[in-house]
Structure 1
Amino acid sequence: MKNLILLLFVGFGVPVFGESWPGWLGPQRNGWVADFKPPKVWPKELKRIWSAKVGAGYGTPLVANDRVYQHARQGEDEVLWCLDLKTGAVKWRKSYRTPFKMGGGGEGHGKGPKSSPVIADGRVFAMSITGTLSAWDAGAGNLLWRKDYGKRFGKPHPYWGTSGSPVVDGDRVIAHFGNDKAGALMALDVKTGRELWSHGKDGTCYSSPRVVEHEGVRQVIEWNHRALVGVESRTGKLLWEYPFPHLTHNQNMPTPTYHKGQILLGGENRGVHGLEPQLKNGKWTVNHQWSQRGVALDMSSAVVNDGLLYGFSHFGRGRLFCLDPKDGKILWEGPARTGNNVMFLSCPGHVLALINTGELRVIKAQRDRYEVAASWHVAQGGTWAPPVLLQNGLLTKDTETLTFWALK
């Protein structure tokens, strides 16, 4: 296929088959790579195994059944690729017309999808930049169903396009549909796309929902245009909410971090906050534990490693930081002017930080100081999509190209 560039280096970094990475920030949406064993000494350089020109977009690659799935844009079409994990060879490619005009100020980010797809039980669910959710058969690439709520809400997407990533919980795929002013959090049947429940009337934002078990209740935690909410996953019933609205140009973008009953919420120019939803005598309340105004999350979602929060503040023109979730104290900050955005992953003893400049840093997960264990340049820039860490390698995507790198 003419759009594919394939480079093979036989003998290096053959993937361990059977690995999986189902979507945005992994199985639990916390960035934790449970099966990865860090090397005693990180390599000085990465070995490129293959590269594929897949198109524009910020979605994470998915890994399942020795295949890689990538949602992107080429020309006026959004495309879903299925590639062989070992070689990068194309299994199938599906495309569909997706006209879109980016809102003013966002042109530099392009018209590629900003949402990450998700795979579960042989189905890939991909949200277009225009707010249309499509379900695909992961094996053959057949379209199973498609949902567009433009007629219900007037405009089907927010100003800069849809970036909320759908999440699957059992027989439900859950996503927020709508625009900046009006919308709803909805659960659809994974097999048919039939609406199972719809919650609220709030507009969407650029954050993504996650599912947790909290106070014995399985619930969706979502940050919409107006508030952080907890909604029962099975029924769509509102459990609790904490007002934290989009204000002026300050967007609601990061995915809230959940750790041992605590929610860590950070917003552009609004600091980072420790919150705890509590259930007592059948009533829900939200306990505000602390606020830290010295750092703030713009587009980047933070991760937890060994009980500490690692994030990227837009203050100082971009600085990595480590914070203690118990009291909100900043433990350390990295150098200023690091970049505009970072995508994080977390593994035993380390945090991986993919900077939008094309640099991938491995940072030691420690409370006393900022220390880089390894650093590699994986692209000339444009690395806004989340990376995927496998046992023997890494998947990264830049402006147009998906690459598999060997670690061993």
Structure 2
Amino acid sequence: MSKRTFQSFARKAPLYLVLLGGIALLLIWIPSWGDRQYQYIATAAVVLVTGFLAIAFTLFLSGYSRKARLTVFIVSSLAAGGLAGLFRIDEVTGDLLPVLVFRWKGTADEALPLLAPSAPPPPGTEISPALAAIGSPAKAQGYGQFLGPNRKATIDGTGINWDWSRTPPAEMWRRPVGAGWSAFSVSGGRAVTQEQRGPNELVVCYWLSSGEVAWSHADPARFQEVLGGIGPRATPTIAAGKVFTFGATGILNCLSLSSGSLVWSVDVLKETGCPNQGWGKSSSPLVYDGLVIVAAGGNDCPGMVAYREQSGEEAWRSAPSEPGYCSPSVAQLAGRPQLLILNLGSVSSHDPATGKTLWSHPWEGTQPKVTQPVPVEGDRVLLSSGYGVGAELLAITEGAGGSLEPRSIWKNRNLKSKFSNIVVYQGAAYGLDDGIMACIDLSDGKRHWKGGRYGHGQLLLDGDKILVLAETGDGVVVQASTAGHTELARHKLLDGKTWNHPSLPAPYLLVRNATEAACYRLKRD
């Protein structure tokens, strides 16, 4: 290549690089990758590399005049410095799309006022309700723990009319709340959640009828991380007139439901010596047979720790494991109650009374595990995780000497649930496969259909209707059917990114995200 030819090419190289970058973006976005986060990562890489090479060619190889090159250097430096100086990444979506805000803008939770208890309860509010035992069928105005009865995001017999085209949700109240991904637990006219306001991590009890604050409890703790966001992740558990909460920094509280007064408190990470997780502690406390059980884990720390419900005294520690972001649950499998937990690299079952490991099964991948293991009929357990992992169905059988053994029935990538949980109806499982609703057959794992992009939202099953609280804050009603994806109704419930689970103390629907909460009344048939 002659010197003149090279100089001609070098002068046009930045334009060629921009053109190649554009082609690369088309190749990234024209086909569907399934998981959009990898498309966003690839897009960022192409833009950064193309921009860097184009500027480098212009400055050092293009042969442009010194004045032109100096102009490019100054403009590109000011642009890069200006972007970095003016903006910060406030949060990311479930697909890792960054949300930019001005650097001088504070976080929403820091702007909220201090909480104060409200006036006496609204007329007709029941002050000291008789609480239904956790695990019993859901009753009106009773939804006492994460994912509702049995922690399966499934409720039967609410009598809700899901035809929102004729009877749309009626908004009862809406109010700003502190940051966090906690959901509401409800009992006797009280709705309790966890939120972050400035330097304090709060447990807040609202009156279900009005949204006014009944009481709040504060701990001087704050968790903040760009990918995971600000504030507590776990959902309170209500049992026997008490509220049990687990904060993002590992503070386990037992509070009075009626007044919010502290009964006992344990700093789990301090007591066990366990490290916190990258996205904060997310385990919603399980209250079972006089024990309060939370996930701990990390390094050589116990995977779970149980405390006495009445005193907070430690009862047992399970074997060490690297934690996921799931909550413990109890299921009847192979003729006995078993405590299930999904860890970072395995799913394990434990004796609820002692924490002893009953069985363990490897679960691949080093990315966070968030979706709850789902017990299904026939002594089976369904697993699913995102980040390309997929789903697997296990059968739990009793072996020689009474030992329990997990056996894989099938395993594939037809349902990759990243943040949301799975619901099961009439032999089929429904979930968000990297943000798109999918239905698979439980018998063989084959996919019936896939359709409807709802982002990384949450699901709740009522009869044969699935309520999807989309990542955008939309409420969507989908028919639970293997015949195909059918969207029955849609209503805007919240504004902004929503990762929190909905709560359905029928006939009320409680929803929230990191900035606002709302209560709707749903019509019954």
TM-score exceeds 0.5:
yes
Give secondary structure in 2 for the equivalent of 1:28: helix
- 178 and 17 in structure 1: CA distance in 2 versus 1, 3 angstrom threshold: closer
Show CA shifts across 1:347-398 (max 9, x none): 1110111111111111011111100111111122222111112332311102
* Match of residue 263 from structure 1: 381
Q: Which has the higher contact order (CA 8 A, sep 6+)?
A: 1
Q: Is the contact between residue 164 and residue 490 of structure 2 (CA under 8 Å) also seen in structure 1?
A: no
* Match of residue 13 from structure 1: none
User: How far off is 1:67 after superposition?
Assistant: 0.9
Please point out which of 474, 477, 494 is paired with 1:362. 477
User: How far off is 1:19 after superposition?
Assistant: 2.0
* Match of residue 76 from structure 1: 199
> Aligned partner of 1:293: which letter?
R
Alignment of 1:90-101 (within 5 A): 90-101=213-224
Please point out which of 439, 445, 458 is paired with 1:328. 445
**More divergent stretch after superposition (144-153 vs 59-68):** 144-153
Alignment of 1:198-347 (within 5 A): 198-247=317-366, 250-260=367-377, 261-268=379-386, 269-281=388-400, 282-314=402-434, 318-336=435-453, 338-339=454-455, 341-347=456-462
User: How far off is 1:96 after superposition?
Assistant: 1.5
Distance in 1 (CA, whole Å) between partners of 2:255 and 2:267 is 15
For structure 2, the residue ranges without an aligned partner over 5 or more in a row are: 1-111, 119-137
Aligned residue pairs total 388
Distance in 2 (CA, whole Å) between partners of 1:387 and 1:40 is 15
**More divergent stretch after superposition (276-285 vs 352-361):** 276-285
Please point out which of 115, 129, 150 is paired with 2:234. 115
* Match of residue 30 from structure 1: 152
Give secondary structure in 2 for the equivalent of 1:335: strand
Please point out which of 36, 50, 63 is paired with 2:186. 63
Give secondary structure in 2 for the equivalent of 1:334: strand
* Match of residue 399 from structure 1: 514
* Match of residue 310 from structure 2: 191
Q: Is the contact between residue 183 and residue 204 of structure 1 (CA under 8 Å) also seen in structure 2?
A: no
**More divergent stretch after superposition (391-400 vs 229-238):** 391-400
* Match of residue 264 from structure 2: 145
Show CA shifts across 1:195-252 (max 9, x none): 11111011222111110111221110111123111101112121111011542xx221
The structure having more radius of gyration, on CA atoms, is: 2
> Aligned partner of 1:55: which letter?
G
For structure 1, the residue ranges without an aligned partner over 5 or more in a row are: 7-15
Q: Is the contact between residue 303 and residue 318 of structure 2 (CA under 8 Å) also seen in structure 1?
A: yes
Distance in 2 (CA, whole Å) between partners of 1:224 and 1:77 is 29
Q: Is the contact between residue 148 and residue 156 of structure 1 (CA under 8 Å) also seen in structure 2?
A: no
- Give me the identity figure in percent: 27
Q: Is the contact between residue 257 and residue 263 of structure 1 (CA under 8 Å) also seen in structure 2?
A: yes
- Is 1:41 matched up with 2:163? yes
Show CA shifts across 1:4-35 (max 9, x none): 8x9xxxxxxxxx99521111111201111223
User: How far off is 1:39 after superposition?
Assistant: 1.5
TM-score, scaled relative to structure 2: 0.70
User: How far off is 1:253 after superposition?
Assistant: 1.3
**More divergent stretch after superposition (265-274 vs 16-25):** 16-25
Q: Is the contact between residue 457 and residue 500 of structure 2 (CA under 8 Å) also seen in structure 1?
A: no
- Is 1:163 matched up with 2:282? yes
Give secondary structure in 1 for the equivalent of 2:303: strand
- 389 and 147 in structure 1: CA distance in 2 versus 1, 3 angstrom threshold: same
- 309 and 297 in structure 1: CA distance in 2 versus 1, 3 angstrom threshold: same
Q: Is the contact between residue 54 and residue 81 of structure 1 (CA under 8 Å) also seen in structure 2?
A: no
User: How far off is 1:2 after superposition?
Assistant: 5.5
Show CA shifts across 1:158-194 (max 9, x none): 1111112221112011111143664431111011111
User: How far off is 1:47 after superposition?
Assistant: 2.2
- 195 and 227 in structure 1: CA distance in 2 versus 1, 3 angstrom threshold: same
> Aligned partner of 1:332: which letter?
W
Please point out which of 474, 480, 493 is paired with 1:378. 493
Distance in 1 (CA, whole Å) between partners of 2:299 and 2:481 is 39
Give secondary structure in 2 for the equivalent of 1:390: coil
> Aligned partner of 1:267: which letter?
S
* Match of residue 127 from structure 1: 246
Give secondary structure in 1 for the equivalent of 2:142: coil
Which structure has greater strand proportion?
1
> Aligned partner of 1:327: which letter?
D
**More divergent stretch after superposition (347-356 vs 45-54):** 45-54
- Is 1:348 matched up with 2:348? no
User: How far off is 1:55 after superposition?
Assistant: 0.7
Distance in 2 (CA, whole Å) between partners of 1:301 and 1:380 is 22
> Aligned partner of 1:291: which letter?
K
- 273 and 159 in structure 1: CA distance in 2 versus 1, 3 angstrom threshold: same
What root-mean-square deviation, in Å, do the aligned CA atoms of Structure 1 and Structure 2 show?
Answer: 2.2
Give secondary structure in 1 for the equivalent of 2:230: coil
- 72 and 160 in structure 1: CA distance in 2 versus 1, 3 angstrom threshold: same
Give secondary structure in 2 for the equivalent of 1:327: coil
Q: Is the contact between residue 24 and residue 117 of structure 1 (CA under 8 Å) also seen in structure 2?
A: yes
